[in-house]
A and B are shown apart, each in its own frame.
Chain A
Amino acid sequence: MMKTFTKIKGALIIGITGLSVMVILGIIAIILVVVIIGGKSQFSWEFLTSFPQDGMTKGGIFPAIYGTVLLVLIMSVAAVPFGTITALYLTEYAKENSWIAKTIRFAIRTLAVVPSIIFGLFGLGFFIKFVGAGMDNAFLGGRLVWGQPNILWASLTMSLLTLPVVIVSVEESMKTVPRELREASLALGATKWQTIRKVVLPGSVSGILTGSILAVGRGAGEVAPLLFTGAAYYLATLPSTLHDQFMVLGYHIYIMSTQSANVDQTLPIQFATTLVLLLLTFILNLIGVVLRSQIRRKQK
């Protein structure tokens, strides 16, 4: 009697926990399916490669795709080297448990949890109003060029946000470079820096790649940091210099779905744009997750 009761409770618990998993997976599936169904009619090569027309009620999203790609490229150029070097410091130079290493790790984790809108504020207050305006005053006699939102400041802001992603991935993979290989190199009379260049870095290429991909996936989808650092509602031309504003997929979705006059009319465009962004980030994350699980397997 008692035993069957226990059994029922056990089945219940496994049932409830299993159900939670299914609910979560279900939500993921529903979002994917809804966005795919809603967007597929509009989704075409034409849509991806043409400019918006008629006040963004027709046409494609090429400038937004272009802006997104440009944004994540500039962002990676900043975030990947800095992230890799920080990871290098943590794995190769820092003494484990020294207060410096601990503080740096804490800073990185803090960076990872600071709300993305705060990065936007920082981008505005630091890059645009401090660095940018400072550059204008110092070199251009106060002419307003760098002291306003643009793609460079937006990308740099985004690179701060994605820095932890890079650091964590690279560090993880640097730890998989066997100690024996480092020792082999040092025993041959290589210096530490030579060992890093010839053994550690080549051994963590996959981690650097994973970190970059995950960072790009993150950066491509974030909108909040761009709201006032350079994303534009509509531009007739593509950004051609670093001090131009730019269109970006996520911001485009936000604007089209909340700020435009004829939301219903452009619904297919909105869904298709969302589909593009979701596919982009989904695929990037999928690749990143697979690569990372391979690195983790190597760790064991």
Chain B
Amino acid sequence: MKEIKIKIKDLTLHYGQKLALNNICLEIPDRRVTALIGPSGCGKSTFLRTLNRMNDLIPSARISGEVLIDELNIYDRNIDVVNLRKRVGMVFQKSNPFSKSIYENVAYGPRINGINERKVLDEIVETSLKRAAIWNEVKDRLRDSALGLSGGQQQRLCIARTLSVNPDVILMDEPASALDPLSTSKIEELIHQLKEQYTIVIVTHNMQQAARVSDYTAFFYLGELIEFGKTKTIFTNPTIKQTEDYITGRFG
């Protein structure tokens, strides 16, 4: 097995009284794609958001356990959440570009890091857009509003925006769920390229997609991690019946 990037130990999360994640233990390998699958409401998004402490924003969320990235517990009192999020980027289910120009969307991250020099910004914007495989489509209209792009383009722009701050880990919450097949395949291709440099965790409802893009798969059910392993193994030879039922679509 590859080197481990993120190690989750006994992670439990409550929303108020409601238990959303129950005692999750999981090891996410470095520079690989890990897919999170499971029925709606089982806690995939909640789990994903614990990895960059997005759940801190929800007042009712209470968390216990550890999340170690490179052996460093990100829930430690001395961790700077702002800097953590710079290293653990996130792409949301609904594409959410700012109502600014395409250029400014990608430059947003560098700018908040204090980079204001035109040339440097230009370069970051260009490389980020290229890596997100959208450069050719937008290079002539960088000053146009990002809201004028198509849904698929917007989502790739959001990926470019995430790449612009140069994270180590990228979290994706159903990044292609609202997209047409063509845009979806573009994003999948992109994920394939990105995993050479980034550790990627992706939530998906689409079994084929999970099978296509991921190296490892974790199956969640009702806030519990049921099974985790190589995608190939999970999809061809799951050890737990629930997993098999879910994957083959025989789920209640």
State the A residues within 8 Å of B (CB): 95-96, 178, 180-181, 183-191, 194, 198-199, 202-203
- For chain B, the bracket of interface size reads 20 to 34
Q: Is the CB of B98 within 8 A of A189?
A: no
B161 CB within 8 Å of chain A: yes
B82 CB within 8 Å of chain A: yes
User: What residues on B are CB-neighbors of A198 within 8 Å?
Assistant: 98, 108, 112
Given known A198-B112, A199-B98, contact A187–B59 (CB-CB < 8 A): no
Q: How far is the CA of A237 from the CA of B112 in the complex (A)?
A: 51
User: What residues on B are CB-neighbors of A187 within 8 Å?
Assistant: 52, 54, 85, 89-90, 92, 162
Given known A183-B57, A184-B158, contact A191–B82 (CB-CB < 8 A): yes
Q: How far is the CA of A180 from the CA of B90 in the complex (A)?
A: 12
Q: How far is the CA of A95 from the CA of B96 in the complex (A)?
A: 25
B233 CB within 8 Å of chain A: no
Query: Nearest 3 CB-CB pairs, A to B?
Result: A189-B86, A180-B96, A187-B90
Q: Is the CB of B98 within 8 A of A181?
A: yes
Residue of B nearest to A195 (CB): B112
User: What residues on A are CB-neighbors of B206 within 8 Å?
Assistant: none
Interface of chain B residues 67 through 126 with chain A (CB within 8 A): 82-87, 89-90, 92, 94, 96-99, 108-109, 112-113
Residue of B nearest to A98 (CB): B59
Q: Is the CB of A189 within 8 A of B54?
A: no
User: What residues on A are CB-neighbors of B89 within 8 Å?
Assistant: 187-188
Residue of A nearest to B111 (CB): A198
Q: Is the CB of B94 within 8 A of A189?
A: no
Q: Is the CB of B57 within 8 A of A188?
A: no
Q: How far is the CA of A191 from the CA of B114 in the complex (A)?
A: 12
Q: Is the CB of A189 within 8 A of B96?
A: no
Q: Is the CB of B109 within 8 A of A189?
A: yes
Q: Is the CB of B90 within 8 A of A190?
A: no
Q: How far is the CA of A190 from the CA of B165 in the complex (A)?
A: 11
User: What residues on A are CB-neighbors of B84 within 8 Å?
Assistant: 189
Most buried by B among A96, A178, A190, A202: A190
Main secondary structure of the interface of B (DSSP, over half): helix
Offer 18 A-B interface pairs, CB within 8 angstroms, sorted by A: A180-B94, A181-B96, A184-B92, A184-B98, A184-B161, A185-B108, A186-B54, A186-B57, A186-B85, A187-B89, A188-B89, A188-B161, A189-B87, A189-B109, A190-B108, A190-B109, A191-B112, A194-B112
Q: Is the CB of B59 within 8 A of A189?
A: no
The smallest C-beta distance from A191 to any residue of chain B, in angstroms, reads 5
Given known A180-B92, A183-B54, A189-B112, contact A95–B59 (CB-CB < 8 A): yes
Residue of B nearest to A95 (CB): B59
Q: Which of B57, B59, B112, B164 meets A190, CB within 8 Å?
A: B112
Q: Is the CB of A188 within 8 A of B94?
A: no
User: What residues on B are CB-neighbors of A180 within 8 Å?
Assistant: 92, 94, 96
User: What residues on B are CB-neighbors of A178 within 8 Å?
Assistant: 96
User: What residues on A are CB-neighbors of B87 within 8 Å?
Assistant: 189
User: What residues on A are CB-neighbors of B161 within 8 Å?
Assistant: 184, 188
Q: Is the CB of B96 within 8 A of A188?
A: no
User: What residues on B are CB-neighbors of A183 within 8 Å?
Assistant: 54, 57, 90, 92, 96
Q: How far is the CA of A143 from the CA of B35 in the complex (A)?
A: 78
Most buried by B among A180, A185, A189: A189
Most buried by A among B59, B85, B89: B85
Given contacts A187-B90, A189-B113, 9 further A-B contacts (CB under 8 A): A178-B96, A181-B98, A183-B57, A184-B98, A185-B108, A186-B54, A186-B57, A188-B162, A189-B112
Q: Is the CB of A188 within 8 A of B54?
A: no
Residue of A nearest to B161 (CB): A188
Given known A180-B92, A183-B57, contact A188–B112 (CB-CB < 8 A): yes
Most buried by B among A181, A188, A191: A188
Residue of A nearest to B164 (CB): A188
Residue of A nearest to B109 (CB): A188
Most buried by B among A183, A184, A202: A184
Q: Which of B52, B83, B86, B96 meets A184, CB within 8 Å?
A: B96
User: What residues on A are CB-neighbors of B92 within 8 Å?
Assistant: 180, 183-184, 187
Residue of B nearest to A189 (CB): B86
Q: How far is the CA of A202 from the CA of B98 in the complex (A)?
A: 10
User: What residues on A are CB-neighbors of B162 within 8 Å?
Assistant: 187-188
Residue of A nearest to B87 (CB): A189
User: What residues on A are CB-neighbors of B164 within 8 Å?
Assistant: 188
Q: Which of B57, B82, B97, B99 meets A189, CB within 8 Å?
A: B82
User: What residues on A are CB-neighbors of B90 within 8 Å?
Assistant: 183, 187
User: What residues on B are CB-neighbors of A191 within 8 Å?
Assistant: 82, 112
The smallest C-beta distance from A132 to any residue of chain B, in angstroms, reads 44
Q: How far is the CA of A96 from the CA of B92 in the complex (A)?
A: 25
